[in-house]
Amino acid sequence: MIYWWLIPVVAVLSFALTAALRRYALVRSIIDIPNARSSHSVPTPRGGGVAIVAAFTLALPFLGWTHAVSSDVLIAAGGSGALIAIIGFMDDHGHIAARWRLLGHFAAAAWALFWLGGLPAITLFGMSVDLGWAGGVLAAFYLVWMLNLYNFMDGIDGIASVEAICVCLGICLLYWLNGLEDLVLLPLLLAMAVAGFLFWNFPPARIFMGDAGSGFLGMILGVLSIQAAWASSQLLWAWLILLGVFIVDATFTLIRRLVRGDKVYEAHRSHAYQFASRRCGKHLPVTLAVAALNLFWLLPIAMCVVLLGLDGALGVVIAYIPLIALALKFHAGELESSASATTSNR
């Protein structure tokens, strides 16, 4: 039996906790002060993503008690997500050296993969590929990249929240249409936890998510995608398609910065979405554009993969080509001064 009443409860709990965290941050002066690398101009409370973590995580024991979700999946998601949230919370309130953060990230990934059973065989251009232990290593790097790229992409009002909601609701639709209702509950609850927070984070944001929330979201989304891979290889490809906006922008930007020799662990504002928000002069159009890309471009391609038999890897290629073009158009990974000069010469 699925307890659907839990869905609004999680949303309301997240909403109330975010309000409480905002008051706490204001009283304790936990404020994000704009600087040269910021995409905002008004001092804003931060750390509100803890509400997402708490609302979602508190629901997990109940799901285990009622056997609504496999205990292995709950332990994988709950343990890895909690560790990432703790690391992010500590980093939000002080500073943890990059090497120790990365060690914690891989420990969380290893925990999740142990309980999920690693990475199953996947279908790649019509061929079944079982990577064995190498697949586990690849999956660990995938999870660590997911949580970090989500942190990188949480740079303007509402974008990380809108992306998570679009991806989760999109995959829920695909699960339902494919007759996999037993997989729906976790992404649906995650979407509701984020929705409660989004009320306070929608442009113009009254509180920011912080590393605890963004890293947690990236890890949980990654864990849920690997869980889906055990049900169907096509579902893993669907997850990668739905996450395309964030994966392409973050990966394209990272590669460009690595090639240029930048210190990639340092803060910057050279993602495509950041350039786009400065060109627009505000955050709302870019956040809404991300939602539109998810709804009108990525979701239909994911549906073709899951429901119509389109090869998953080919679907990813089709989905990503326009996103790469947008990354180029909005100078992802370029130096801000170079991008400004290029734009002014046009």
Q: Rounded distance, CA 109 to CA 130, Å? A: 20
Kindly report whether the global pTM for this prediction surpasses the value 0.85.
yes
**Could you give phi then psi for residue 97, rounded to 5 degrees?**
-55, 145
Rounded (to 5) percent helix, strand, coil in the chain:
70, 5, 25
CB burial of 282-306 (b: ≥16 within 10 Å; e: otherwise) equals ebeebbebbbebbeebbbebbbbbb
Asked if 72 contacts 116 with a C-beta cutoff of 8 angstroms, the reply is yes
Q: What is the pLDDT of residues 257-305, one digit of tens each?
A: 999 888 777 778 899 999 999 999 999 999 999 999 999 999 999 999 9
pLDDT value for 96? 82
| Both structure tokens of 337 | 């001064």
- pLDDT for position 345: 39
Q: DSSP for 80-111, please give it.
A: HHHHHHHHHHHHHTS---HHHHHHHHHHHHHH
Instruction: Report, as an integer, the average pLDDT of 9-18.
Output: 97
Q: How far apart are CA 333 and CA 327, in angstroms?
A: 9
User: pLDDT tens across 114-135, in order?
Assistant: 999 999 999 998 888 998 889 9
